[in-house]
A and B are shown apart, each in its own frame.
Chain A
Amino acid sequence: MTDQDILARLWVREDGALDAITARYGNYLRSIAGNILGSSEDAEECLNDALFKAWNAIPPMRPENLRTYLGRIIRNLAINRLQASRAEKRGGEGVALLRELDDCIPGGVRPEAALEEKELASALNLFLSTLPEQKRSLFLRRYWFGDSMAQIAQRTGKSQAAAAMALSRLRRELKDFLKERGYER
Protein backbone atom coordinates (compact mmCIF):
# COMPACT_ATOMS: atom_id res chain seq x y z
CA MET A 1 0.00 0.00 0.00
CA THR A 2 1.41 3.38 -0.99
CA ASP A 3 1.50 6.55 1.08
CA GLN A 4 -1.21 7.99 -1.16
CA ASP A 5 -3.44 5.00 -0.44
CA ILE A 6 -2.89 5.42 3.30
CA LEU A 7 -3.60 9.15 3.14
CA ALA A 8 -6.75 8.52 1.13
CA ARG A 9 -7.97 6.06 3.74
CA LEU A 10 -7.21 8.53 6.54
CA TRP A 11 -9.08 11.26 4.72
CA VAL A 12 -12.24 9.16 4.47
CA ARG A 13 -11.75 8.00 8.09
CA GLU A 14 -11.56 4.43 6.96
CA ASP A 15 -11.06 1.75 9.58
CA GLY A 16 -7.78 0.02 9.06
CA ALA A 17 -5.87 3.13 7.99
CA LEU A 18 -3.86 3.05 11.21
CA ASP A 19 -3.19 -0.66 10.75
CA ALA A 20 -1.87 0.16 7.31
CA ILE A 21 0.46 2.76 8.81
CA THR A 22 1.66 0.28 11.39
CA ALA A 23 2.28 -2.34 8.75
CA ARG A 24 4.24 0.07 6.56
CA TYR A 25 6.03 2.23 9.08
CA GLY A 26 5.66 0.50 12.44
CA ASN A 27 9.23 -0.77 12.68
CA TYR A 28 10.65 2.54 11.50
CA LEU A 29 8.65 4.50 14.06
CA ARG A 30 9.39 2.04 16.86
CA SER A 31 13.10 2.30 16.13
CA ILE A 32 13.11 6.11 16.40
CA ALA A 33 11.25 6.06 19.72
CA GLY A 34 13.16 3.02 20.95
CA ASN A 35 16.54 4.60 20.18
CA ILE A 36 15.64 7.70 22.15
CA LEU A 37 13.91 6.01 25.06
CA GLY A 38 15.74 2.70 25.28
CA SER A 39 12.55 0.85 26.10
CA SER A 40 10.43 -1.18 23.72
CA GLU A 41 7.38 -0.73 25.95
CA ASP A 42 7.75 3.05 25.91
CA ALA A 43 8.37 2.94 22.17
CA GLU A 44 5.18 0.98 21.64
CA GLU A 45 3.21 3.51 23.69
CA CYS A 46 4.76 6.32 21.66
CA LEU A 47 3.73 4.54 18.49
CA ASN A 48 0.12 4.34 19.66
CA ASP A 49 0.19 8.03 20.62
CA ALA A 50 1.72 8.93 17.26
CA LEU A 51 -0.98 7.02 15.39
CA PHE A 52 -3.61 8.82 17.43
CA LYS A 53 -2.05 12.20 16.61
CA ALA A 54 -1.83 11.35 12.93
CA TRP A 55 -5.45 10.23 12.92
CA ASN A 56 -6.48 13.59 14.43
CA ALA A 57 -4.24 15.66 12.18
CA ILE A 58 -5.09 14.03 8.84
CA PRO A 59 -7.29 15.56 7.58
CA PRO A 60 -6.91 18.50 7.32
CA MET A 61 -3.17 17.87 6.99
CA ARG A 62 -1.93 16.17 3.85
CA PRO A 63 1.80 15.66 4.41
CA GLU A 64 3.93 15.44 1.31
CA ASN A 65 6.14 12.83 2.89
CA LEU A 66 4.18 10.61 5.23
CA ARG A 67 7.25 8.77 6.47
CA THR A 68 9.12 11.83 7.75
CA TYR A 69 5.87 13.40 8.96
CA LEU A 70 5.19 10.40 11.17
CA GLY A 71 8.85 10.31 12.15
CA ARG A 72 8.68 13.87 13.42
CA ILE A 73 5.53 13.12 15.41
CA ILE A 74 6.96 10.11 17.17
CA ARG A 75 10.31 11.80 17.75
CA ASN A 76 8.56 14.70 19.45
CA LEU A 77 6.55 12.31 21.58
CA ALA A 78 9.64 10.35 22.50
CA ILE A 79 11.54 13.50 23.48
CA ASN A 80 8.64 14.62 25.64
CA ARG A 81 8.64 11.25 27.30
CA LEU A 82 12.41 11.42 27.68
CA GLN A 83 12.11 14.77 29.44
CA ALA A 84 9.65 13.24 31.86
CA SER A 85 11.77 10.18 32.44
CA ARG A 86 15.09 12.01 32.95
CA ALA A 87 14.08 12.81 36.49
CA GLU A 88 13.78 9.08 37.02
CA LYS A 89 17.20 8.50 35.44
CA ARG A 90 15.73 6.50 32.63
CA GLY A 91 16.08 6.80 28.89
CA GLY A 92 18.16 4.92 26.36
CA GLU A 93 20.34 6.42 23.67
CA GLY A 94 18.52 9.70 24.29
CA VAL A 95 20.46 10.30 27.47
CA ALA A 96 23.71 9.82 25.58
CA LEU A 97 22.45 12.15 22.84
CA LEU A 98 21.73 14.86 25.38
CA ARG A 99 25.12 14.45 26.98
CA GLU A 100 26.88 14.69 23.62
CA LEU A 101 24.81 17.65 22.42
CA ASP A 102 25.74 19.42 25.61
CA ASP A 103 29.19 19.76 23.99
CA CYS A 104 27.67 21.98 21.32
CA ILE A 105 26.46 24.63 23.72
CA PRO A 106 28.92 27.46 24.18
CA GLY A 107 29.69 28.33 27.78
CA GLY A 108 29.15 31.65 29.50
CA VAL A 109 26.13 33.28 30.95
CA ARG A 110 24.25 35.57 28.62
CA PRO A 111 20.57 35.36 29.45
CA GLU A 112 19.77 37.97 26.81
CA ALA A 113 21.07 35.59 24.15
CA ALA A 114 18.45 32.98 24.86
CA LEU A 115 16.55 32.42 21.64
CA GLU A 116 13.31 30.85 20.71
CA GLU A 117 13.32 27.24 19.67
CA LYS A 118 12.13 28.24 16.22
CA GLU A 119 15.14 30.48 15.74
CA LEU A 120 17.38 27.73 17.02
CA ALA A 121 15.81 25.35 14.52
CA SER A 122 16.57 27.82 11.73
CA ALA A 123 20.15 28.09 12.91
CA LEU A 124 20.47 24.32 12.98
CA ASN A 125 19.11 24.05 9.47
CA LEU A 126 21.59 26.69 8.37
CA PHE A 127 24.41 24.78 10.01
CA LEU A 128 23.30 21.55 8.37
CA SER A 129 23.13 23.28 5.00
CA THR A 130 26.85 24.04 5.27
CA LEU A 131 27.77 20.39 5.66
CA PRO A 132 28.41 17.94 2.87
CA GLU A 133 25.64 15.35 2.59
CA GLN A 134 27.65 12.55 4.15
CA LYS A 135 28.47 14.54 7.28
CA ARG A 136 24.96 15.93 7.52
CA SER A 137 23.47 12.46 7.29
CA LEU A 138 25.89 11.19 9.90
CA PHE A 139 24.85 13.97 12.26
CA LEU A 140 21.16 13.32 11.68
CA ARG A 141 21.46 9.54 12.02
CA ARG A 142 22.86 10.16 15.47
CA TYR A 143 20.86 13.14 16.69
CA TRP A 144 17.62 12.86 14.77
CA PHE A 145 17.14 9.14 14.42
CA GLY A 146 19.03 8.38 17.63
CA ASP A 147 21.09 5.61 16.02
CA SER A 148 23.68 4.02 18.28
CA MET A 149 27.34 4.11 17.28
CA ALA A 150 27.11 0.43 16.39
CA GLN A 151 24.16 1.09 14.09
CA ILE A 152 25.95 4.00 12.47
CA ALA A 153 29.08 1.93 11.97
CA GLN A 154 27.05 -0.85 10.38
CA ARG A 155 25.18 1.56 8.16
CA THR A 156 28.21 3.43 6.92
CA GLY A 157 30.68 0.58 6.87
CA LYS A 158 33.06 2.58 9.07
CA SER A 159 34.50 1.73 12.44
CA GLN A 160 32.73 2.97 15.53
CA ALA A 161 35.85 4.93 16.47
CA ALA A 162 35.84 6.67 13.11
CA ALA A 163 32.17 7.55 13.43
CA ALA A 164 32.70 8.84 16.95
CA MET A 165 35.61 10.97 15.83
CA ALA A 166 33.63 12.46 12.97
CA LEU A 167 30.70 13.22 15.25
CA SER A 168 33.02 14.83 17.76
CA ARG A 169 34.31 17.14 15.06
CA LEU A 170 30.77 17.98 13.96
CA ARG A 171 29.76 18.84 17.52
CA ARG A 172 32.72 21.15 17.80
CA GLU A 173 31.80 22.79 14.50
CA LEU A 174 28.23 23.22 15.69
CA LYS A 175 29.43 24.72 18.94
CA ASP A 176 31.52 27.29 17.08
CA PHE A 177 28.62 27.96 14.72
CA LEU A 178 26.19 28.59 17.56
CA LYS A 179 28.69 30.65 19.49
CA GLU A 180 29.18 32.97 16.53
CA ARG A 181 25.43 33.57 16.53
CA GLY A 182 25.22 34.42 20.19
CA TYR A 183 23.81 31.19 21.54
CA GLU A 184 24.88 30.54 25.08
CA ARG A 185 24.14 27.98 27.69
Chain B
Amino acid sequence: MNSMNLLCALNAVEEQYLVQAERRPSPRRRVRVLWIAAAACLALLAGCVAVGVAAGWRLTSVEEDGEEKLRLSVETDAYPLGEEAQRELEARLSGEESWELPILRPEELEELLGIHLLTLPEASFESWGFSAFRDGRGGICVGGAWWQQPDQADPWVANITMVLDTEGGAIDLLELEAKAERFAVRESRYIEALGTDVEMYFLSSDVSVDPLSSDHLPETMRHNYVTCVFLFDQTAYLVNFSLFFGEEITAEEAFQTAASLLETMR
Protein backbone atom coordinates (compact mmCIF):
# COMPACT_ATOMS: atom_id res chain seq x y z
CA MET B 1 0.00 0.00 0.00
CA ASN B 2 1.22 3.50 -0.74
CA SER B 3 -0.12 7.01 -0.49
CA MET B 4 -1.43 6.82 -4.05
CA ASN B 5 -3.58 3.82 -3.02
CA LEU B 6 -5.00 5.91 -0.22
CA LEU B 7 -5.67 8.85 -2.49
CA CYS B 8 -7.44 6.57 -4.98
CA ALA B 9 -9.38 4.67 -2.33
CA LEU B 10 -10.72 7.95 -0.98
CA ASN B 11 -12.62 8.37 -4.22
CA ALA B 12 -15.09 5.81 -2.93
CA VAL B 13 -15.92 7.88 0.11
CA GLU B 14 -19.58 7.91 1.01
CA GLU B 15 -21.72 10.47 -0.75
CA GLN B 16 -23.10 12.01 2.42
CA TYR B 17 -19.61 12.81 3.68
CA LEU B 18 -18.80 14.71 0.52
CA VAL B 19 -22.04 16.63 0.72
CA GLN B 20 -21.23 17.54 4.32
CA ALA B 21 -17.72 18.60 3.39
CA GLU B 22 -19.09 20.94 0.76
CA ARG B 23 -21.19 22.83 3.23
CA ARG B 24 -19.83 26.14 4.32
CA PRO B 25 -19.62 26.61 8.08
CA SER B 26 -22.96 28.00 9.09
CA PRO B 27 -22.95 31.78 9.56
CA ARG B 28 -25.48 31.26 12.33
CA ARG B 29 -23.03 29.04 14.11
CA ARG B 30 -20.29 31.63 13.71
CA VAL B 31 -22.54 34.34 15.04
CA ARG B 32 -23.43 32.11 17.96
CA VAL B 33 -19.76 31.51 18.71
CA LEU B 34 -19.09 35.24 18.55
CA TRP B 35 -21.93 35.91 20.97
CA ILE B 36 -20.65 33.22 23.30
CA ALA B 37 -17.12 34.60 23.08
CA ALA B 38 -18.35 38.12 23.78
CA ALA B 39 -20.40 36.91 26.73
CA ALA B 40 -17.43 34.92 27.98
CA CYS B 41 -15.23 38.03 27.82
CA LEU B 42 -17.75 40.00 29.83
CA ALA B 43 -17.99 37.21 32.36
CA LEU B 44 -14.23 37.00 32.46
CA LEU B 45 -13.94 40.68 33.18
CA ALA B 46 -16.48 40.40 35.95
CA GLY B 47 -14.72 37.34 37.29
CA CYS B 48 -11.32 38.99 37.22
CA VAL B 49 -12.68 41.98 39.09
CA ALA B 50 -14.32 39.73 41.67
CA VAL B 51 -11.26 37.57 42.11
CA GLY B 52 -9.00 40.59 42.01
CA VAL B 53 -10.86 42.49 44.66
CA ALA B 54 -10.88 39.40 46.83
CA ALA B 55 -7.15 38.96 46.30
CA GLY B 56 -6.40 42.53 47.21
CA TRP B 57 -6.10 44.07 43.77
CA ARG B 58 -6.22 47.84 43.68
CA LEU B 59 -6.68 50.12 40.75
CA THR B 60 -4.77 53.29 41.43
CA SER B 61 -4.17 56.43 39.48
CA VAL B 62 -0.50 57.33 38.95
CA GLU B 63 1.23 60.06 37.06
CA GLU B 64 3.90 59.07 34.55
CA ASP B 65 5.61 61.49 32.18
CA GLY B 66 2.97 64.07 32.98
CA GLU B 67 0.16 61.69 32.05
CA GLU B 68 -2.31 60.21 34.45
CA LYS B 69 -2.48 56.46 34.13
CA LEU B 70 -4.32 53.70 35.86
CA ARG B 71 -2.24 50.98 37.42
CA LEU B 72 -3.45 47.65 38.63
CA SER B 73 -1.55 46.51 41.65
CA VAL B 74 -1.76 43.84 44.28
CA GLU B 75 -1.32 44.86 47.85
CA THR B 76 0.29 41.66 48.92
CA ASP B 77 3.69 40.07 48.83
CA ALA B 78 2.39 36.59 49.27
CA TYR B 79 3.79 35.18 46.06
CA PRO B 80 7.49 35.89 45.72
CA LEU B 81 9.60 33.29 44.01
CA GLY B 82 11.46 31.56 46.82
CA GLU B 83 15.23 31.95 46.90
CA GLU B 84 15.88 28.27 46.60
CA ALA B 85 13.43 27.89 43.78
CA GLN B 86 14.90 30.95 42.10
CA ARG B 87 18.37 29.36 42.19
CA GLU B 88 17.01 26.09 40.88
CA LEU B 89 15.17 27.85 38.11
CA GLU B 90 18.22 29.90 37.18
CA ALA B 91 20.36 26.77 37.13
CA ARG B 92 17.95 25.15 34.75
CA LEU B 93 17.63 28.22 32.58
CA SER B 94 21.41 28.54 32.39
CA GLY B 95 21.74 24.93 31.33
CA GLU B 96 23.56 23.80 34.44
CA GLU B 97 20.76 21.44 35.20
CA SER B 98 18.74 19.31 32.90
CA TRP B 99 15.27 20.35 31.80
CA GLU B 100 14.15 16.79 31.78
CA LEU B 101 11.95 17.30 34.77
CA PRO B 102 9.63 14.70 36.10
CA ILE B 103 6.00 15.29 35.39
CA LEU B 104 4.78 17.51 38.15
CA ARG B 105 1.37 18.18 39.44
CA PRO B 106 0.49 21.82 40.08
CA GLU B 107 0.86 21.46 43.81
CA GLU B 108 4.30 19.97 43.32
CA LEU B 109 5.17 22.86 41.04
CA GLU B 110 4.04 25.28 43.68
CA GLU B 111 6.33 23.60 46.17
CA LEU B 112 9.22 23.56 43.74
CA LEU B 113 8.91 27.17 42.73
CA GLY B 114 7.71 28.54 46.03
CA ILE B 115 4.73 30.22 44.46
CA HIS B 116 1.04 29.62 44.22
CA LEU B 117 -0.53 28.81 40.92
CA LEU B 118 -3.73 30.73 41.05
CA THR B 119 -6.72 28.54 40.43
CA LEU B 120 -10.32 29.53 40.51
CA PRO B 121 -12.38 28.34 43.43
CA GLU B 122 -15.24 26.15 42.37
CA ALA B 123 -17.85 28.58 43.62
CA SER B 124 -16.66 31.45 41.49
CA PHE B 125 -16.00 29.11 38.59
CA GLU B 126 -19.58 28.00 38.74
CA SER B 127 -21.07 31.41 39.14
CA TRP B 128 -19.35 33.24 36.37
CA GLY B 129 -18.26 30.46 34.17
CA PHE B 130 -19.91 27.30 33.21
CA SER B 131 -23.44 27.81 34.44
CA ALA B 132 -23.68 31.24 32.95
CA PHE B 133 -23.48 29.84 29.46
CA ARG B 134 -24.94 26.43 29.76
CA ASP B 135 -28.15 26.53 27.79
CA GLY B 136 -29.14 22.90 27.62
CA ARG B 137 -27.25 22.34 24.42
CA GLY B 138 -23.85 22.69 26.00
CA GLY B 139 -21.92 25.86 26.43
CA ILE B 140 -18.59 27.37 26.93
CA CYS B 141 -16.73 28.67 29.87
CA VAL B 142 -13.64 30.72 29.47
CA GLY B 143 -12.13 31.72 32.68
CA GLY B 144 -8.88 32.95 34.03
CA ALA B 145 -7.19 35.28 36.36
CA TRP B 146 -3.92 37.09 36.51
CA TRP B 147 -2.09 39.15 38.92
CA GLN B 148 0.95 41.24 38.85
CA GLN B 149 3.39 42.12 41.56
CA PRO B 150 3.60 45.84 42.29
CA ASP B 151 7.25 45.71 41.31
CA GLN B 152 7.44 44.40 37.77
CA ALA B 153 10.85 42.88 38.41
CA ASP B 154 9.05 40.20 40.34
CA PRO B 155 7.51 37.31 38.52
CA TRP B 156 4.09 37.39 37.09
CA VAL B 157 1.99 34.40 37.67
CA ALA B 158 -0.84 33.62 35.39
CA ASN B 159 -3.36 30.90 35.24
CA ILE B 160 -5.45 30.55 32.18
CA THR B 161 -8.31 28.18 32.38
CA MET B 162 -10.51 27.34 29.48
CA VAL B 163 -13.38 24.93 29.53
CA LEU B 164 -15.49 24.22 26.52
CA ASP B 165 -18.37 21.85 26.50
CA THR B 166 -19.99 21.13 23.19
CA GLU B 167 -23.13 19.21 22.47
CA GLY B 168 -21.37 15.88 22.19
CA GLY B 169 -19.00 16.61 25.00
CA ALA B 170 -16.06 16.38 22.63
CA ILE B 171 -13.74 19.30 22.27
CA ASP B 172 -12.24 20.05 18.94
CA LEU B 173 -8.81 21.60 18.89
CA LEU B 174 -9.83 23.96 16.14
CA GLU B 175 -12.77 25.16 18.17
CA LEU B 176 -10.58 25.56 21.19
CA GLU B 177 -8.02 27.57 19.35
CA ALA B 178 -10.58 29.79 17.70
CA LYS B 179 -12.19 30.59 21.00
CA ALA B 180 -8.87 30.96 22.72
CA GLU B 181 -7.76 33.44 20.08
CA ARG B 182 -10.75 35.64 20.78
CA PHE B 183 -10.16 35.17 24.45
CA ALA B 184 -6.53 36.13 24.07
CA VAL B 185 -7.24 39.25 22.06
CA ARG B 186 -9.40 40.57 24.84
CA GLU B 187 -6.84 39.82 27.49
CA SER B 188 -3.67 40.61 25.62
CA ARG B 189 -3.06 43.75 27.61
CA TYR B 190 -2.43 41.66 30.69
CA ILE B 191 0.32 39.79 28.95
CA GLU B 192 1.76 42.52 26.80
CA ALA B 193 4.65 43.10 29.18
CA LEU B 194 6.06 39.82 27.92
CA GLY B 195 7.15 41.79 24.89
CA THR B 196 8.47 40.29 21.72
CA ASP B 197 11.88 38.96 22.69
CA VAL B 198 10.73 36.18 24.88
CA GLU B 199 12.43 32.86 25.33
CA MET B 200 10.02 30.12 26.16
CA TYR B 201 10.82 27.00 28.10
CA PHE B 202 8.63 24.05 28.70
CA LEU B 203 8.60 23.27 32.37
CA SER B 204 6.12 20.49 32.81
CA SER B 205 2.78 19.12 31.90
CA ASP B 206 0.31 16.79 33.40
CA VAL B 207 -2.85 15.15 32.29
CA SER B 208 -5.48 14.30 34.79
CA VAL B 209 -9.17 14.34 35.42
CA ASP B 210 -10.06 17.79 36.57
CA PRO B 211 -11.88 17.88 39.88
CA LEU B 212 -13.72 21.06 38.97
CA SER B 213 -15.13 19.60 35.83
CA SER B 214 -16.13 16.23 37.16
CA ASP B 215 -19.64 17.31 38.01
CA HIS B 216 -20.31 18.91 34.69
CA LEU B 217 -18.22 17.42 31.97
CA PRO B 218 -18.03 13.98 30.41
CA GLU B 219 -15.89 11.42 32.14
CA THR B 220 -13.54 11.41 29.21
CA MET B 221 -12.71 15.05 29.79
CA ARG B 222 -9.11 15.43 30.75
CA HIS B 223 -7.33 18.34 32.25
CA ASN B 224 -4.00 19.10 30.67
CA TYR B 225 -1.69 21.28 32.63
CA VAL B 226 1.08 22.96 30.77
CA THR B 227 3.46 25.11 32.67
CA CYS B 228 5.93 27.27 30.85
CA VAL B 229 8.63 29.64 31.91
CA PHE B 230 9.39 32.71 29.87
CA LEU B 231 12.53 34.75 30.05
CA PHE B 232 12.18 38.37 29.23
CA ASP B 233 14.40 41.23 30.25
CA GLN B 234 16.27 38.93 32.62
CA THR B 235 13.10 38.14 34.45
CA ALA B 236 11.49 34.75 34.58
CA TYR B 237 7.76 34.63 34.06
CA LEU B 238 5.81 31.56 34.79
CA VAL B 239 2.57 30.82 33.04
CA ASN B 240 0.42 27.88 33.83
CA PHE B 241 -2.09 26.85 31.23
CA SER B 242 -4.87 24.55 32.14
CA LEU B 243 -6.38 23.26 28.98
CA PHE B 244 -9.39 21.02 28.73
CA PHE B 245 -9.69 18.67 25.84
CA GLY B 246 -12.18 15.98 24.98
CA GLU B 247 -9.42 13.48 24.86
CA GLU B 248 -5.97 13.00 26.25
CA ILE B 249 -3.25 14.77 24.40
CA THR B 250 0.47 14.40 24.66
CA ALA B 251 2.61 16.83 26.57
CA GLU B 252 4.14 17.94 23.30
CA GLU B 253 0.75 18.74 21.80
CA ALA B 254 -0.32 20.56 24.92
CA PHE B 255 2.87 22.55 24.84
CA GLN B 256 2.44 23.41 21.19
CA THR B 257 -1.06 24.62 21.90
CA ALA B 258 0.19 26.71 24.78
CA ALA B 259 2.91 28.14 22.56
CA SER B 260 0.35 28.97 19.93
CA LEU B 261 -1.81 30.73 22.49
CA LEU B 262 1.11 32.73 23.79
CA GLU B 263 2.11 33.64 20.27
CA THR B 264 -1.37 35.07 19.79
CA MET B 265 -1.14 37.01 22.99
CA ARG B 266 2.16 38.50 21.98
A→B interface (CB under 8 Å): 64-65, 67-68, 71-72, 75-76, 79, 83, 94, 97-102, 104-105, 114-115, 117-118, 120-121, 124-125, 128-129, 132-138, 140-141, 143-145, 155-159, 161-163, 165-166, 169, 183-185
- In the complex, what distance in Å separates the CA atom of A143 from the CA atom of B19? 15
**CB atoms of A185 and B1 under 8 A apart:** yes
Chain B: CB-nearest residue to A147: B21
Residues of B within 8 Å of A158, CB to CB, are 174, 177-178
The B97-138 residues at the A interface (CB cut-off 8 A) are: none
The 8 closest A-B pairs by CB, nearest first: A121-B12, A101-B3, A137-B21, A140-B21, A120-B9, A121-B9, A98-B3, A102-B3
Interface residues on B, range: 35 or more
**CB atoms of B6 and A101 under 8 A apart:** yes
What mask results when residues 1 to 24 of chain B are scored 1 for a CB within 8 Å of chain A, else 0?
A: 111111111111111011111111
- In the complex, what distance in Å separates the CA atom of A172 from the CA atom of B178? 22
- In the complex, what distance in Å separates the CA atom of A155 from the CA atom of B110? 43
**CB atoms of B21 and A65 under 8 A apart:** no
Residues of A within 8 Å of B66, CB to CB, are none
**CB atoms of A83 and B4 under 8 A apart:** yes
Chosen A-B contacts, 17 in total, with CB atoms closer than 8 Å, are A97-B7, A101-B3, A104-B3, A104-B6, A115-B1, A120-B5, A125-B13, A128-B13, A133-B20, A134-B172, A136-B21, A137-B20, A137-B23, A140-B13, A143-B6, A144-B18, A185-B2
**CB atoms of B11 and A68 under 8 A apart:** no
Chain B: CB-nearest residue to A168: B253
Residues of B within 8 Å of A121, CB to CB, are 9-13
**CB atoms of A124 and B6 under 8 A apart:** yes
Residues of A within 8 Å of B172, CB to CB, are 132, 134-135, 166
**CB atoms of A163 and B174 under 8 A apart:** yes
Residues of B within 8 Å of A124, CB to CB, are 6, 9-10, 12-13
Given contacts A105-B2, A155-B25, A158-B178, contact A143 B7 (CB under 8 A): yes
* B260 CB-CB contact with A under 8 Å: yes
- In the complex, what distance in Å separates the CA atom of A147 from the CA atom of B122? 44
* B217 CB-CB contact with A under 8 Å: no
Beyond A124-B10, A137-B17, A157-B25, 14 extra complex contacts between A and B, CB < 8 Å = A68-B18, A117-B8, A117-B9, A125-B13, A128-B13, A132-B168, A132-B170, A132-B172, A137-B21, A140-B17, A155-B24, A158-B174, A159-B177, A165-B253
**CB atoms of B13 and A169 under 8 A apart:** no
